[in-house]
């Protein structure tokens, strides 16, 4: 790996970009072949029911990222223009230090809802008294996890008043490098008879929680004020943050911008986009009301400091991560093997994406960048390809005329 800064990467042709990855990230010809082939129909047919094809979205590479001192190229699967360029730009401005990221142990929560319980408080006490034995029993259902240093590590019970009294029993499971949904659900379902007999009630729902408050990833970054446009930009971003922190309508859009980055990487690595999205938005609402997932402040030197913390239930083994050739490629490109490193990368990418959106919003607005990309699409619609499309897009953007007729005229058609 030579680094994540690939100057002019965006100007290269598609094949040339792929070849550059060989040098920059140790990608082999076989990896490139797998990338080109993508998901076969035969595999798709095994993944879902009633398969009829595959749905393709562009896969791009965000450059310039440095996380915990390591440079890496980040694959992003997204249909939205500007997102990858914005992340790369935000990562570049964060150099030379880059992002710092941490994560907690990958512990998820499996819930068992018990209804028609004779005495919920007494049931809770009996569960607590038998906790160690129940954890040992549950670990017999946790597959390989205990042998890998993970598995069921805790068990809690609480009485919930929800229009009726119910008892909620929760298993805390360290999922190691797996997202863990299957194992968690197996454990919780498998413990049904045992728990029912202890609490003297009936188990209804047995399912993991996507609000993974025990499995958090956090990223921080400091942007030197002079590298992002000075005091005015620092001030603008902090005020934009205050708006999102205080207003759920703005917070939803702010957090959507964060998820522009995160979801693109979740998808590229074959992880469950809905699980991560649900966890993120629920986490944004666990306090007094729905708010910004990120926080921006000024440090002692007047530089801009950003933080993002959110649940990150992602894995590097199992599910589509393993079966989808593009996901395997994505992990290889980043040189990531552990779920925690992946989670940390997600948080750093989300923070970069948020910074890029806020910087654009408090300076030139976001339409300028979008219109340049729109111009490219118009040039393509007029029949232009390759460098010619870029040249025509530049003219359209400069003239502020995005009609296909003008693009055709420039093409001489």
Catalytic residues: 80, 256, 272, 370
Which lies closer to ligand MEV via its Cβ, residue 98 or residue 257? 257
Q: Which stretch binds ligand MEV (CB under 6 A): 155-163, 190-198, 254-262, 344-352?
A: 254-262
Q: Please classify residue 94 by burial: count the beta carbons closer than 10 Å to its beta carbon, then call 0-12 exposed, 13-18 middle and 19+ buried.
A: buried
Going residue by residue from 344 to 363, which x/- string records binding to ligand MEV, judged by CB under 6 A?
Answer: -------------xx--x--
Give me 261's structure tokens.
């980055």
Choose which of 18, 200, 224, 256 interacts with ligand MEV (CB under 6 A): 256
Q: Is 395 in the site for ligand MEV (CB under 6 A)?
A: no
Which lies closer to ligand MEV via its Cβ, residue 80 or residue 390? 80
Q: Which stretch binds ligand MEV (CB under 6 A): 10-18, 90-98, 255-263, 295-303?
A: 255-263
- Quote the crossing angle between the two packed helices 367-381 and 386-399, to the nearest 10°: 130
Which lies closer to ligand MEV via its Cβ, residue 16 or residue 79? 79
Residue 58: C-alpha distances to residues 14, 44, 84, 366 (Å): 12, 18, 11, 21
Question: Up-side HSE of residue 254: CA atoms within 13 Å toward CB?
Answer: 29
Give me 131's structure tokens.
């906790």
Q: Which stretch binds ligand MEV (CB under 6 A): 8-16, 39-47, 71-79, 252-260?
A: 252-260
Q: Is 254 in the site for ligand MEV (CB under 6 A)?
A: yes
Least Å distance between CB 74 and ligand MEV?
18
Q: Is 104 in the site for ligand MEV (CB under 6 A)?
A: no
| Inter-residue contact 314 to 271 (CB < 8 Å) | yes
Which lies closer to ligand MEV via its Cβ, residue 166 or residue 244? 244
Q: Which residues pair with 168 in a beta bridge?
A: 113, 158
Contact residues for 256 (Cβ-Cβ < 8 A; gap 6+): none
Least Å distance between CB 240 and ligand MEV?
8
The site that binds ligand MEV (CB under 6 A) totals a number of residues, namely: 10
Instruction: Tokens 């197996």: give the residue.
Output: 186
Give me 191's structure tokens.
């413990």
Q: What is the DSSP string of 273-328?
A: HHHHHHHHHHHTTSSSSS--SEEEEE-TTS-EEEEEEEE----SBSTHHHH-HHHH
Q: What is the DSSP string of 230-272?
A: -HHHHHHHHHHHHHHHH-HHHHHHHHHHHHHHHHHHHHHTT--
Going residue by residue from 55 to 94, which x/- string records binding to ligand MEV, judged by CB under 6 A?
Answer: -------------------------x--------------
Least Å distance between CB 1 and ligand MEV?
30
Q: String of b and e for 6-39 (b: at least 16 CB within 10 Å)? A: beebeeeeeeeebebbeebbebeeebbebbeeeb
Distance (Å, whole) CA 290 – CA 356: 22
Least Å distance between CB 228 and ligand MEV?
16
Choose which of 139, 260, 263, 292 interacts with ligand MEV (CB under 6 A): 260
Q: Is 404 in the site for ligand MEV (CB under 6 A)?
A: no
Least Å distance between CB 401 and ligand MEV?
24
Least Å distance between CB 25 and ligand MEV?
27
Give me 38's structure tokens.
């993508």
Which lies closer to ligand MEV via its Cβ, residue 158 or residue 368? 368
Choose which of 366, 380, 395, 404 interacts with ligand MEV (CB under 6 A): 366
Least Å distance between CB 253 and ligand MEV?
4
Choose which of 110, 123, 257, 325 interacts with ligand MEV (CB under 6 A): 257
Q: Which stretch binds ligand MEV (CB under 6 A): 227-235, 250-258, 283-291, 375-383?
A: 250-258
Distance (Å, whole) CA 293 – CA 258: 8
| Inter-residue contact 4 to 68 (CB < 8 Å) | no
Least Å distance between CB 143 and ligand MEV?
39
- Give the largest CA-CA distance in the chain: 83
Choose which of 43, 213, 222, 253 interacts with ligand MEV (CB under 6 A): 253
Chain contacts with ligand MEV (rule: CB under 6 A): 80, 253-254, 256-257, 260, 357-358, 361, 366
């Amino acid at each position: 790996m030579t680094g994540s800064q690939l100057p002019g990467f965006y100007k290269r042709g598609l094949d040339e970009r792929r070849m550059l990855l060989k040098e920059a990230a140790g990608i082999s010809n076989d990896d490139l072949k797998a990338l080109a082939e993508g998901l076969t129909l035969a595999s798709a047919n095994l993944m879902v029911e009633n398969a009829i094809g595959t749905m393709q979205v562009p896969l791009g590479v965000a450059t310039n990222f440095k996380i915990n001192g390591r440079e890496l190229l980040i694959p992003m699967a997204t249909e939205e223009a500007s997102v990858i360029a914005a992340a790369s730009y935000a990562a570049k401005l964060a150099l030379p230090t880059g992002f710092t990221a941490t994560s907690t142990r990958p512990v998820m929560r499996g819930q068992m809802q018990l209804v028609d319980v004779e005495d919920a408080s007494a049931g809770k006490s009996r569960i607590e008294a038998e906790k160690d034995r129940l954890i040992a029993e549950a670990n017999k259902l946790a597959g390989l996890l205990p042998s890998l240093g993970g598995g069921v590590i805790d068990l809690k019970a609480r009485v919930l008043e929800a229009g009726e009294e119910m008892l909620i029993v929760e298993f805390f499971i360290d999922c190691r490098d797996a997202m863990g949904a299957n194992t968690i659900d197996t454990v919780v379902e498998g413990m049904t008879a045992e728990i029912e007999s202890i609490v003297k009630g009936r188990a209804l729902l047995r399912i993991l929680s996507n609000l993974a408050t025990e499995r958090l990833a956090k990223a921080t970054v400091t942007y030197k004020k002079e590298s992002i446009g000075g005091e005015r930009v620092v001030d603008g971003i902090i005020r934009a943050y205050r708006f999102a922190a205080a207003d759920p309508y703005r917070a939803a859009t702010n957090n959507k911008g964060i998820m522009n980055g995160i979801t693109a990487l979740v998808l590229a690595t074959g992880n469950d986009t809905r699980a991560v999205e649900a966890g993120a938005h629920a986490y944004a609402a666990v306090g007094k009301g729905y708010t910004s997932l990120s926080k921006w402040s000024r440090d002692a030197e007047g530089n801009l400091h950003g933080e993002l913390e959110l649940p990150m239930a992602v894995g590097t083994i199992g599910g589509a991560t393993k079966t989808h050739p593009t996901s395997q490629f994505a992990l290889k490109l980043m040189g990531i093997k552990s779920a925690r490193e992946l989670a940390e990368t997600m948080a750093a990418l989300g923070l970069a994406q948020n910074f890029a959106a806020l910087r654009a919003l408090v300076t030139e607005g976001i339409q300028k960048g979008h219109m340049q990309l729109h111009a490219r699409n118009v040039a393509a619609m007029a029949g232009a390809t390759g460098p010619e499309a870029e040249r025509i897009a530049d003219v359209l953007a400069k003239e502020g005329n995005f009609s296909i007729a003008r693009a055709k005229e420039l093409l001489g058609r």
